[in-house]
Structure 1
């Protein structure tokens, strides 16, 4: 009887290794079978803010015991955080240039989505903006992202290709900063990603930029080499390429990788 009694507490300890569930494996019967449970911190481009809410809910439902925490900012800010050693597990940027600059800090990146630019105007487009050329009107208040921000770089790229000079009233640190200025009426127009304009249909209008004049933004995702939960982070990054995750991204307006 004494031997049997000793076995009970041992059996009770056979789940979580640290009480927080971070080293426990998901049950084989669930969708998350074989993926270690972990609290993952993901650094993600600001333009992913809305769609990653759905990604978070879906992934956590499929991987019980895993918790995703996202930190959104301009890709250049995320890169600076990585270089400074901020604790995180995965990174998703809005351009390959920023990710390529972190080769010593990340694993092999995978492109999970693409995006295009649009001109965001105030609701109803009161200034009747129809094209990139209209943004050169000195009477317009145009806001752009700063040149070091991916969307700012893409914006300058398309303007330069058309030999257009735009004098912005401000340069923001993220695409959401540009969108906010237009939403609040502090600017008549700004260049943002198509998916960002789609998040505020009652506050802004989106003027299409023809494909021949547009730029394509690619979104690479990668595990950080300093992640304390590398296997779980790898699993999340890989999952972003699955049909289910891709459908979520497509539904939000992102293009196929």
Structure 2
């Protein structure tokens, strides 16, 4: 069973982590050692579904190992990590956020890109507003949800709109892509800028592709931390994310392969 560790719980452990760090650095994890214990993984919200499956597969391959996930906006998770939140693995929705998160942390190796994602305009099934391009989002009365610019999906939206030559004023800025999509599904907005993977398989939402999104493709990097509570477990999980089995799960969810 996958157990998700809420962001609040991670924050509450900051003090304990700081005290543990005062004892000096531990030896680097052995890449050949079999994983044991609990593995704490912080991952971008857009990875929720495939990583839940990947975590279950990893547990099945290593009996006795438990994976604890915390899914949220990459920038929010990066702030937690910079503050010392305990984590064995971080999977971000762009390299910029990964770099910010690892400035003050000891990684077990350089971050590696394991997947790619691309923006679409999500609209209700049937596309009642007839939205076919970014410029349609500026029409009178069209309410649009976009991620905050500090979040990878928000930064990608800004690049895509710049490429389209569109100045958009969204009615709401969300902290992660799942929140932007939720606004649409609740009927609070007419469109939302989300990833292809977020719309995949939904019956009440459809995706409007637009060529300018090719200028805003996000690479997803993953890294393991040498200063986490379970360095060997983190190293093993990060390696599994890069495996053929995990990439098959990501591809089924709509993620692209690394360039």
Which range, TM-score by smaller chain? 0.7 to 0.9
Q: CA deviation at 1:133?
A: 1.3
The structure having more radius of gyration, on CA atoms, is: 1
Tell me: CA distance 1:35–1:250, structure 2 relative to 1, closer, same or farther (3 Å): same
State how far apart, in whole Å, the 2-side matches of 1:212 and 1:145 are: 15
1:125-178 Cα shifts (integer Å, max 9, x gaps) = 110111111111132011111110100010011101221011100000000011
Q: Which residue of 1 aligns with 2:19?
A: none
State how far apart, in whole Å, the 2-side matches of 1:147 and 1:36 are: 37
State how far apart, in whole Å, the 2-side matches of 1:140 and 1:37 are: 51
SS at structure 2 position matched to 1:99: helix
Q: Which residue of 1 aligns with 2:131?
A: 129
Q: Which residue of 1 aligns with 2:49?
A: 50
Q: Which residue of 2 aligns with 1:24?
A: none
Q: Which residue of 1 aligns with 2:233?
A: 232
SS at structure 1 position matched to 2:246: helix
Q: CA deviation at 1:106?
A: 4.5
Matches within 5 A, 1:1-257: 34-101=33-100, 102-107=102-107, 108-199=110-201, 201-210=202-211, 213-257=214-258
Q: How many residues align?
A: 224
Tell me: CA distance 1:151–1:106, structure 2 relative to 1, closer, same or farther (3 Å): farther
Moved over 3 A (4+): 211-214
Structure 1 contact 43–92 (Cα < 8 Å) conserved: yes
Structure holding more helix per residue? 2
Q: Which residue of 2 aligns with 1:4?
A: none
State how far apart, in whole Å, the 1-side matches of 2:137 and 2:38 are: 45
State how far apart, in whole Å, the 2-side matches of 1:41 and 1:232 are: 9
Q: Which has the higher contact order (CA 8 A, sep 6+)?
A: 2
State how far apart, in whole Å, the 1-side matches of 2:35 and 2:194 are: 37
State how far apart, in whole Å, the 1-side matches of 2:120 and 2:106 are: 31
Instruction: Give the superposed CA RMSD.
Output: 1.4
State how far apart, in whole Å, the 2-side matches of 1:36 and 1:177 are: 34
Structure 2 contact 91–221 (Cα < 8 Å) conserved: yes
SS at structure 1 position matched to 2:140: coil
State how far apart, in whole Å, the 2-side matches of 1:35 and 1:234 are: 10
State how far apart, in whole Å, the 2-side matches of 1:212 and 1:132 are: 10
Q: Which 5+ residue runs of structure 2 have no aligned equivalent?
A: 1-31
State how far apart, in whole Å, the 2-side matches of 1:214 and 1:207 are: 16
Structure 1 contact 115–216 (Cα < 8 Å) conserved: yes
State how far apart, in whole Å, the 1-side matches of 2:256 and 2:167 are: 29
